[in-house]
Amino acid sequence: MTISLKPNDSPPEKLQPTGWLKYLSFSLDHKVIGLQYLVCGFLFYLIGGSLAGAIRVELTSPLSDFMPREVYNQVLTLHGTIMIFLWIVPVVNGAFGNYLIPFYVGARDMAFPRLNAVAFWLIPPSGLMLITSYFINGAAQSGWTAYPPLSITTPAAGQIIWILSVLLLGGSSIFGGINFIATILKLRRPGLKLMQLPMYCWAMLGTSILVVLSTPVLAGTLILLSFDIVAHTGFFNPSLGGNVIVYQHLFWFYSHPAVYIMVLPAFGLVSEILPIHSRKPLFGYTTMVFSIMGIVVLGLVVWAHHMFTSGTPPWMRLFFTIATAFIAVPTGIKFFNWVATLWGGKISLNAAMLFSCGFIINFVLGGITGVALAQVPFDVHVHDTYFVVAHFHYIVYGGSVFVIFSSIYHWFPKFTGKMLNENLGRFHFIITFIGFNLCFAPQHWLGLNGMPRRVAEYDPQFQVINQISSVGALLMALSTLPFLWNILQSILYGDKAGDNPWNALTPEWLTSSPPPVENWEGDAPLVIEPYGYGEKNSNKIQEGMK
Amino acid sequence: MPKLSAILTLTSSLILGIGGVWIAYNVDMLPVSASMNAPVYDELYRVLFIIGCILFIGITALVIYSLIQFRRRPGETGDGIDLEGNISLEIFWTAVPAIVVLFVGLYSYDIYDRMGGMQPLMHDHSGQMDNQAERVWGGIGSGPIESLSKENSSSLPIELTAMQFAFIFHYPKEDIISGELHVPVGREVSLKMESKDVIHAFWVPQFRLKQDVIPGQPTILNFTPTKAGNFPIVCAELCGPYHGGMRSNVIVDEQKDFDIWLKENSKESI
């Protein structure tokens, strides 16, 4: 006997909460999930930023006098972990990816809405777990790299909670990556070809490939590490015959691509913002696509440049030097293309544009020091020093975080239907740009002259430069105030934005602000020229408006 | 006027190039150089600095110029020029960085070779008790390692044991144990390093050398000090709460003074 279900027997869709409550619910709407990622990420950014402030206060004097040494190591571990796994990765991927990708491919939602909601709801508990581990027995204190044997010998509870939380966040990231790949490749509106997609789709496709290929390696490594800690196995424990270098190889096989997981989506977002505010087509679409894919391929084979001083054979050092340096080629193409996008435009100097241009300038400096660091002989002097700290903050803060702010200024009217105050936004940019450069530019000198990273005490000759750097950090902290004020003020009393305040052509602007649950009333628009700006095409834009 | 813009481009790139070289030769950001490979390092640093300055100033200037020149004036409407790409320009700025990067890579390979990074490591253990071939990894500046048992070895063998939170130096011939590293000027030192607990790193900024000190995996670092003086040894790998305090000194003496130091300390140890 067989029981057959009639097709219409599927359970009725549960009602989703409406109003502000939906942002605290297990919502399946990609737009709600995107904003959940964004707000949650920003809250963690404030926590991670406070930890950075604590580090900068400690470093205003050459002695370890502000907090106990163990706590200092916990603070720097939490700062790195929170900023990477709870702020930049979830926001550039999860927040903007979830909000924008379905619009860009002409879909009503992501391919797997439930998986999407699960991916988001893994983040708050793992973040809280990570932070509260401080109150249990002290948080992890072996840096965000958790190199054994240090991570095996420091107090186990904090380290295990750190591993669990990074595993959950990695899982969330993998779910997101699978979802993006499926959505971009399979949910495209009929008639929309891959080479007609906005650049952010390509960036997210590349990023998601990296996520899916490399994050499982990190998960495996951390599980082995947790065995070493809990079950006293000897994978990475030299006193039991383990090899500590193997951990570094496995760790960096994920954690170098992680840098591209943080910056590739930012590249995509900038490629959306620059053409709209300079009223010009994106320069060199095809080369941009190929350079993203080039970065994806090269990004997977450069990890050992983090290990030039760990004891690697000469041939390996040579290979990784050349491979790393060659990433500069596709990255360089993107930067030249962006500058060419600005050239001859009608540029609006608004906050979104300024933050994007700030990103270009900061990232070029970070890229140049990156090529220098790839050279083995150069790296053996500055590896594990403040030079490296300066380099990667130019990449992840000067790069990704500047783009996050730029994107918030750009898409806030779509998110809320209200305009942000541009003058406050420009003020925010100026304070952030000055504070950031004041904080991190002097650190290049510190590294070259002998200050290692992750220290609570240092040679007194570095005090003045460290104090200058701390003043920069204070400015960065203060710069969040006009931003937060702007957000609150604009949500409550901001000017109405209308559907398309920037006269943009990409599909998210061809609907109301904020958009309806199904994204568009009626059919999704077919946008085959997302960057069709420019004088000759002005007629087309007029039509697009209607 | 294409001629005028060509002249303008040429002059500005020329100024940019000269400016980059000028900055690299006039902004000195490195500490004193005190080992054989430090001047070689500084040469590479200068080349990277010149290229970096030219690129950074050039792109920054282009961005700022565009923002000012092509800004939307009040009351202006309409779009910018309709320019979707330019194949020859794109080939140009793919090829130029590729050539620059290739040049930098080959140049740094040459520097690496001159520092002794490509020389094979030979670690002869025939005279010792354990016959197992020991895997040894060398840092940069590691040349062929003379056997410690050879009599007329030119390099000065020293053993370094790192632990939380100290460097302990052992001079095997004289059996001296010291918390500071004493070495003579102008003689190659061969430092064999191993850690007792976690990973540490041996770094002397004035020597431009760093090598991790790893538990269960000896590493070798060869260097030749060229300047007498007192330089800091810094641990550069996070090794625990007192990581920042894990410092020591390398005291580079004239051969005469070094011999006196050796004599004094071996007497004490007897």
Q: What's the confidence (pLDDT) of residue B137?
A: 58
Instruction: Inform me whether the C-beta atom of residue A317 falls under 8 Å from chain B C-beta atoms.
Output: yes
Across B210-247, b (16+ Cβ under 10 Å) vs e yields bbbbbbbbbbbbbbbbbebeebebbbbbbbbbbbbbbb
Give, in degrees to the nearest 5, the angle at Cα A479 between A476 and A483: 140
Number of cross-chain residue pairs from A and B with Cβ atoms under 8 Å apart:
293
Determine whether the interchain pair B238/A454 forms a contact, defined as Cβ–Cβ distance below 8 Å: yes
Instruction: Inform me whether the C-beta atom of residue A70 falls under 8 Å from chain B C-beta atoms.
Output: yes
> B-chain residues within 8 Å CB-CB of A333?
90, 93-94, 97
Determine whether the interchain pair B105/A349 forms a contact, defined as Cβ–Cβ distance below 8 Å: no
Average pLDDT over residues A26-45: 95
Instruction: Inform me whether the C-beta atom of residue B201 falls under 8 Å from chain A C-beta atoms.
Output: yes
> B-chain residues within 8 Å CB-CB of A444?
29
Instruction: Inform me whether the C-beta atom of residue A456 falls under 8 Å from chain B C-beta atoms.
Output: yes
The rounded distance, in Å, linking the Cα atoms of A29 and A116 is 9
Q: What's the confidence (pLDDT) of residue A15?
A: 62
Indicate if the pLDDT at residue A81 is higher than 70.
yes
> A-chain residues within 8 Å CB-CB of B214?
238, 244-245, 310-311
The rounded distance, in Å, linking the Cα atoms of A368 and B270 is 55
Tell me the ipTM for this assembly.
0.89
Tokens standing for residue B237: 């790998």
CB neighbourhood size of A339 (10 A): 21
The rounded distance, in Å, linking the Cα atoms of A211 and A90 is 12
Residue B81: exposure state from Cβ atoms within 10 A (0-12, 13-18, ≥19):
middle
Q: What's the confidence (pLDDT) of residue B123?
A: 45
User: Model confidence over A200-213: pLDDT tens digits?
Assistant: 999 999 999 999 99
| pTM, entire model | 0.92
Determine whether the interchain pair A333/B94 forms a contact, defined as Cβ–Cβ distance below 8 Å: yes
Average pLDDT over residues A371-391: 93
Q: What's the confidence (pLDDT) of residue B124?
A: 41
Instruction: Inform me whether the C-beta atom of residue B129 falls under 8 Å from chain A C-beta atoms.
Output: no
- H helices of A94-141, in order, are 96-105, 113-121, 123-137
Of A142, A242, A365, the CB nearest to B56: A365
> B-chain residues within 8 Å CB-CB of A370?
none
User: CA-nearest residue of chain B to A70?
Assistant: B241
Determine whether the interchain pair A357/B78 forms a contact, defined as Cβ–Cβ distance below 8 Å: no
User: Model confidence over A299-331: pLDDT tens digits?
Assistant: 999 999 999 888 777 778 888 998 999 999 999
Q: What's the confidence (pLDDT) of residue A114?
A: 95
The rounded distance, in Å, linking the Cα atoms of A431 and A480 is 9
Q: Which of residues 359-418 of A touch B (CB under 8 A)?
A: 360-361, 364-365, 368-369, 371-372, 375-378, 380-381, 383-385
Q: Mean pLDDT in chain A? A: 92
Half-sphere exposure of B253 (CA within 13 A, CB side): 13
Least confident residue range of A36-40, A95-99, A445-449, A528-532: A528-532
User: CA-nearest residue of chain B to A332?
Assistant: B97
The rounded distance, in Å, linking the Cα atoms of A385 and A391 is 10
In sequence order, which residues have a C-beta less than 8 Å from that of residue B229 and are 6 or more positions away? B32, B34, B206, B251, B252
Mutate to test the interface with A, among B238, B242, B247 (most CBs of A within 10 A): B238
Determine whether the interchain pair B79/A346 forms a contact, defined as Cβ–Cβ distance below 8 Å: yes
Of A314, A321, A453, the CB nearest to B105: A321
Residue with tokens 């282009």: B62
Of A141, A361, A383, the CB nearest to B210: A383
Q: Name the minimum distance, in Å, from the CA of B128 to any CA of chain A.
A: 22
> A-chain residues within 8 Å CB-CB of B39?
none
Q: What's the confidence (pLDDT) of residue B28?
A: 81
Average pLDDT over residues A418-426: 95
pLDDT: is A541 or B185 the higher one? B185
Q: What's the confidence (pLDDT) of residue B258?
A: 92
Of A70, A326, A345, the CB nearest to B70: A345
Indicate if the pLDDT at residue A542 is higher than 50.
no
Determine whether the interchain pair B94/A287 forms a contact, defined as Cβ–Cβ distance below 8 Å: yes
The DSSP 8-state label assigned to residue A95 in this structure reads I
Determine whether the interchain pair A378/B41 forms a contact, defined as Cβ–Cβ distance below 8 Å: yes
Q: What's the confidence (pLDDT) of residue B150?
A: 42
Q: What's the confidence (pLDDT) of residue A6?
A: 56
Confirm if B208 and B226 have CB atoms less than 8 A apart.
no
Instruction: Inform me whether the C-beta atom of residue B117 falls under 8 Å from chain A C-beta atoms.
Output: yes
Of A322, A329, A344, the CB nearest to B94: A329
Q: What's the confidence (pLDDT) of residue B268?
A: 59
> A-chain residues within 8 Å CB-CB of B245?
64, 457
Residue type, A161: I
User: CA-nearest residue of chain A to B83?
Assistant: A281
Average pLDDT over residues A80-98: 96
Of A311, A342, A449, the CB nearest to B217: A311
Determine whether the interchain pair B90/A284 forms a contact, defined as Cβ–Cβ distance below 8 Å: yes
> A-chain residues within 8 Å CB-CB of B192?
none
Average pLDDT over residues A215-242: 94
Q: Name the minimum distance, in Å, from the CA of A287 to any CA of chain B.
A: 8
- What is the residue-level pLDDT of chain B in tens, covering all 270 positions? 567 888 888 888 888 888 888 888 888 888 999 998 888 899 999 999 999 999 999 999 999 999 999 999 888 888 888 888 888 989 998 999 999 999 998 898 888 888 876 665 544 433 333 333 445 555 555 444 443 334 345 789 999 999 999 999 999 988 899 999 999 998 889 899 999 999 999 999 999 989 999 998 888 888 899 999 999 999 999 999 999 999 999 999 999 999 999 988 886 555
Alpha-carbon distance values, B158 to A174, B161, B182 (Å): 49, 10, 10
Instruction: Inform me whether the C-beta atom of residue A316 falls under 8 Å from chain B C-beta atoms.
Output: no
Residue B116: exposure state from Cβ atoms within 10 A (0-12, 13-18, ≥19):
buried
Phi and psi dihedrals of B94, rounded to 5?
A: -90, -40
> B-chain residues within 8 Å CB-CB of A385?
236
Indicate if the pLDDT at residue A282 is higher than 90.
yes
User: Model confidence over A151-182: pLDDT tens digits?
Assistant: 999 999 999 999 999 999 999 999 999 999 99
Q: Which of residues 130-169 of B touch A (CB under 8 A)?
A: 137-140
Q: What's the confidence (pLDDT) of residue B235?
A: 95
Instruction: Inform me whether the C-beta atom of residue A445 falls under 8 Å from chain B C-beta atoms.
Output: yes
The rounded distance, in Å, linking the Cα atoms of B168 and B160 is 6
Mutate to test the interface with B, among A66, A245, A251, A381 (most CBs of B within 10 A): A381
Q: Name the minimum distance, in Å, from the CA of A48 to any CA of chain B.
A: 20
Residue A247 pLDDT class (50, 70, 90 cuts): very high
Average pLDDT over residues A433-458: 95
The rounded distance, in Å, linking the Cα atoms of A234 and A224 is 9
Instruction: Inform me whether the C-beta atom of residue B249 falls under 8 Å from chain A C-beta atoms.
Output: no
Q: What's the confidence (pLDDT) of residue B216?
A: 85
- H helices of A242-375, in order, are 244-278, 285-299, 314-326, 328-342, 351-374
User: Model confidence over A269-281: pLDDT tens digits?
Assistant: 999 999 999 999 9
Instruction: Inform me whether the C-beta atom of residue A539 falls under 8 Å from chain B C-beta atoms.
Output: no
Indicate if the pLDDT at residue A545 is higher than 80.
no
Instruction: Inform me whether the C-beta atom of residue A195 falls under 8 Å from chain B C-beta atoms.
Output: no
The rounded distance, in Å, linking the Cα atoms of A339 and A344 is 10
Q: Name the minimum distance, in Å, from the CA of B210 to any CA of chain A.
A: 5
Determine whether the interchain pair B52/A372 forms a contact, defined as Cβ–Cβ distance below 8 Å: yes
Instruction: Inform me whether the C-beta atom of residue B214 falls under 8 Å from chain A C-beta atoms.
Output: yes
Confirm if A306 and B130 have CB atoms less than 8 A apart.
no
Q: What's the confidence (pLDDT) of residue A373?
A: 94
Mutate to test the interface with B, among A72, A195, A329, A333 (most CBs of B within 10 A): A329
Q: Which of residues 224-243 of B touch A (CB under 8 A)?
A: 232, 234-243
Tokens standing for residue B89: 């320009």
Least confident residue range of A50-54, A538-542, B97-101, B247-251: A538-542
Q: For a pLDDT cut of 70, what percent of chain A falls above it?
A: 95
